[in-house]
Structures are given as structure tokens and as C-alpha cells.
């Protein structure tokens, strides 16, 4: 099992062998949370086989390990998951979803969750869906919101 850094619309994030983005669930206090029960239907774990050691591929600086009790890959101690709503390599549809007691974030090559709202903002979505109205600035256009 090898995780690599893949360029996506959010920037460089961890991805599995098929290029699927890797996520972690984070509490309001910034702590990693486990996904159990029905959660695992939408967020399948990044699984490892018995006796295997996950490999940090190109561009990955995170410390990868296997949680022995679940045979699940972790990054810097946080359990890792895929999102069933991602349809293929490089998709990041799970970013920022609030469910199962926390918020889901793509995982950076460093192993840290990509929590920055600015990372998801693009010129076509000036307020990145956060409910705040866009305001004119000296460096950017006024989108008329």
C-alpha cells in the first residue's frame, strides 16, 4: 500500500494507489475522530493487509502507520478514509463535509488535514460557499453579492 501526493483543485493532497483522495474526520476541537458503523458506508477506510507497512510515496512527508486493531492506515496518528462520493482520481468532493460528529478534510502530504478555507476558494466561487458575502477589495473584483 503506497500513498502519494497528488495535485487536485485543493492543491497537493494524499491519494491512494488509484489516485483517490484521502480524508480524515476532525472534531470541532481539531482532534481526529474515528469513523464507525454507518459512517464506513460513505467513508471507507484506507485499509492495509495483515503484515503490511504503508509506504510514503513521492512528495509525502507524513508518518504513515497501520492501526493494528483495525488494519487501517493512519497519517501522523489520524485514521484515513476515502469518500464514496469521489468518482475518480483527484476528485475532492468530500472536502468540508460536516457529518458523523466532525468535518471531513483532505489530508496534505505532511499528514495534516487541509482545513484552510482559502484552499477551497476559486475565482468562480469567491466566498467558497461559507455564507459570507463577497466584498470588494483593492486586489479583487466585486462579484455583486
What per-residue confidence (pLDDT) applies to 57?
A: 76
Domain ranges, ordered by start, for the chain: 2-120
Tell me the pTM.
0.76
Query: 123-143 pLDDT, tens per residue?
Result: 322 333 333 332 233 333 332
98 exposure class (CB count in 10 Å sphere: 0-12, 13-18, 19+): exposed
Residues 66 and 53: their CA atoms lie apart, in Å, by 7
What per-residue confidence (pLDDT) applies to 46?
A: 93
Residues 104 and 27: their CA atoms lie apart, in Å, by 9
Residues 3 and 106: their CA atoms lie apart, in Å, by 13
Query: 40-82 pLDDT, tens per residue?
Result: 999 999 988 777 777 777 778 777 777 766 788 999 889 999 9
What per-residue confidence (pLDDT) applies to 69?
A: 67
What per-residue confidence (pLDDT) applies to 79?
A: 93
Residues 20 and 84: their CA atoms lie apart, in Å, by 10
Helix (H, G, I), strand (E, B), or coil: what is residue 52? coil
Q: Is the pLDDT of residue 86 over 50?
A: yes
Query: 16-33 pLDDT, tens per residue?
Result: 999 999 999 999 998 999
Amino acid at each position: 500500500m503506497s500513498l502519494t501526493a497528488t495535485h487536485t483543485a485543493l492543491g497537493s493532497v494524499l491519494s491512494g494507489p488509484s489516485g483517490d483522495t484521502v480524508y480524515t474526520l476532525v472534531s470541532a476541537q481539531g482532534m481526529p475522530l474515528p469513523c464507525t458503523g454507518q459512517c464506513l458506508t460513505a467513508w471507507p477506510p484506507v485499509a492495509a493487509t495483515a503484515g503490511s507497512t504503508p509506504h510514503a510515496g513521492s512528495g509525502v512527508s507524513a508518518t504513515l502507520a497501520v492501526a493494528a486493531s483495525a488494519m487501517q492506515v493512519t497519517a501522523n496518528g489520524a485514521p484515513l478514509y476515502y469518500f464514496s462520493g469521489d468518482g475518480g482520481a483527484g476528485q475532492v468532493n468530500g472536502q468540508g463535509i460536516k457529518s458523523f460528529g466532525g468535518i471531513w478534510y483532505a489530508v496534505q502530504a505532511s499528514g495534516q488535514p487541509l482545513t484552510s478555507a482559502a484552499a477551497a476558494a476559486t475565482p468562480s466561487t469567491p466566498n467558497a460557499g461559507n455564507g459570507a458575502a463577497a466584498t470588494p477589495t483593492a486586489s479583487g473584483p466585486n462579484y455583486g453579492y
